[in-house]
Amino acid sequence: MAARTPSPTRPVGSATRGTTNPNRLRRMDRWIAAVHGPALRRVAAPVAVDLGYGAAPWTAVELLDRLRTGAHGTPGVRVVGIEIDPGRVAAAKPYERDGLTFTHGGFEVPLPSGHGARPALIRAANVLRQYDEEEVAETWRRLCARLLPGGLLVEGTCDEIGRRHVWVALTPEGPATVTFAARLGSLDRPSDLAERLPKALIHRNVPGEPVHAFLRDFDRAWAAAAPYASLSARQRWVRACAALRADWPLTDGPRRWRQGEVTVAWEALAPQAAPTVR
């Protein structure tokens, strides 16, 4: 989707390539359920939006299942898949069921009748990658303005089969954290995740920028933790994350690290001329 001036008849944005695969967003979904699940459960009949779900409805179907089930489940959550391409919405309609609806729209985030005024969660995965960097802050601002108080926007990028993700989590007050997640067996070094940085950061992976320094330090910690590779890639990742904590404000701990994740405060990685939603 690309930002443009809204009109009464045209949704805000333009169609993405629509690439999607089953289980592509499982790492992001797992993190949302674990970290944001308590907030969702505090909302009566919470609504989660899968914005720009693409040419097939799999990611929205899976989001509902992952938010409703498991140790972190929110049984009453409903998911609305929003797409700007009417043909994609029509193709998704046969997959509607209790708690899952598909509708036509864009960054104005329209919710169907009976779903309340605002969502508790918006997930926008692989949507802003085609943007200019200068457009990101306004898009973040628009989406965050649609959230309930205490709501969450998760915006980021992953590869085609879901091995490598990086996403930013934002509240209505602004960006809060950046999470790096991977199938650890696919990594030679943590900086392999640089190609999946979200649009706000991907052009900032250059000397002098915080995200470049973070990935440099992560690679060094990973190299120092090489003896733990004989135990497993997971143990090596956990050890590297523990070393990073001495110099970087990590907001999670070993429980999440063992899932192949690490989350850093946004302020530590924000670009020198940072986009802001304030």
Task: Name the residue among 101, 127, 125, 106 with its Cα closest to residue 47.
Answer: 101
**What is the Cα Rg of the chain in Å?**
18
Q: Does domain 1-172 have CATH number 3.40.109.10?
A: no
Q: Determine the residue type at 248.
A: W
> b/e per residue, 192-222, with b = 16+ CB within 10 A?
ebbebbbbbbbebbeeebbbbbbbebbbebb
Q: What is the mean pLDDT of residues 256-268?
A: 98
Question: What is the pLDDT, as a whole number, of residue 258?
Answer: 97
Question: What is the pLDDT, as a whole number, of residue 164?
Answer: 97
Quick: pLDDT tens for 131-157: 899 999 999 999 999 999 999 999 999
Q: How many residues does the chain have?
A: 278
Q: Determine the residue type at 91.
A: A
pTM score, whole prediction: 0.92
Quick: pLDDT tens for 183-240: 999 899 999 999 999 999 999 999 999 999 999 999 999 999 999 999 999 999 999 9
- The segment(s) of the chain belonging to CATH 3.40.50.150 are 1-172
Q: Which two tokens stand for residue 45?
A: 């009949």
Helices 233-244 and 210-224, axial angle in degrees (round to 10): 130
Average per-residue pLDDT in the chain?
Answer: 92
Number of H helices, E strands in the chain: 9, 8
Q: Determine the residue type at 269.
A: L
Largest CA distance in the chain: 60
List alpha helices for 111-231, DSSP H: 136-145, 199-202, 210-224
Quick: pLDDT tens for 52-102: 999 999 999 999 999 999 878 899 999 999 999 999 999 999 999 999 999
Interatomic CA distance for residues 91 and 61, integer angstroms: 13
Quick: pLDDT tens for 178-188: 999 999 998 99
List alpha helices for the chain, DSSP H: 26-41, 58-68, 86-92, 136-145, 199-202, 210-224, 233-244, 254-257, 266-269
- In sequence order, which residues have a C-beta less than 8 Å from that of residue 180 and are 6 or more positions away? 165, 166, 190, 193, 261, 262, 263, 264
